[in-house]
Homo-oligomer: A and B are copies of this chain.
Amino acid sequence: MERELLLLGLLRRSDMHGYQLHEFIERNMSTCTDLKKSAAYYLLEQMEGRGWVRVSGELAEGKRPPRRIYTITEAGEAAYQQLLRENLAQAHTSVFPGNVGLAFLSDIALDEAIALLRQRRAALQAQADAVAHAPPHAGSLQYLIDHQRHHLHSELAWLEQVLNDLEQRLKGDLT
């Protein structure tokens, strides 16, 4: 329900059409979350079926497909209130599939493991830089971005620790 929470939260601020919603998320939240265009359209239709949103207008400009402007309904507002509370109260167990490799780190020679993790560190650093340079946002959206920043720093610190550990061991092996 996280995706519908996101859409409802944005629609609550102002009516938008699908393309616009996707664009906003892409522009302002890409470091924290993502929502493909097709998924956005799909979710909007589905939520319309549930009565959470309704099409409040169809603006045709030229001969391109008319913009379908969505508005949140009362039922949608109620759903939003509940989803938001659930979301805030829960601690979702975070699973990092990208880290399974760590469990098998010792299957690789020390020096190669170090080289690989340095690559990872560089990529992670790039992500951290991207978030750092993101322009500040009004309201609590900033919390989400700050969280991502915090998380990336934590990941970098941990990786640094592992690298130090491995480098120490490498030294030990050579002497």
Contact = CB atoms under 8 A, between A and B. Distances in A.
Contact of A107 (B84, B121, B151, B162): B84
A164 interface: no
B120 A89 contact: yes
Contact of A96 (B32, B85, B120): B32
Contact of A150 (B83, B140, B154): B154
- Count identical subunits in the complex: 2
A33 to B, nearest CB: 6
A89 B105 CA distance: 11
Interface in A122-175: 123-124, 126-127, 139-141, 143-144, 147-148, 150-151, 154-155, 157-158, 162
A92 interface: yes
A120 B90 CA distance: 5
A5 to B, nearest CB: 6
A9 B102 CA distance: 11
B97 A127 contact: no
Contact of A88 (B33, B87, B89, B101): B101
Contacts of A9: 100, 103-104, 107
Interface stretch (A38-46, A68-76, A111-119): A111-119
B90 A123 contact: yes
Contacts of A104: 5, 9, 84, 140
Interface of A: 2-3, 5-6, 9, 12, 29, 32-34, 83-85, 87-108, 112-113, 116-117, 119-121, 123-124, 126-127, 139-141, 143-144, 147-148, 150-151, 154-155, 157-158, 162
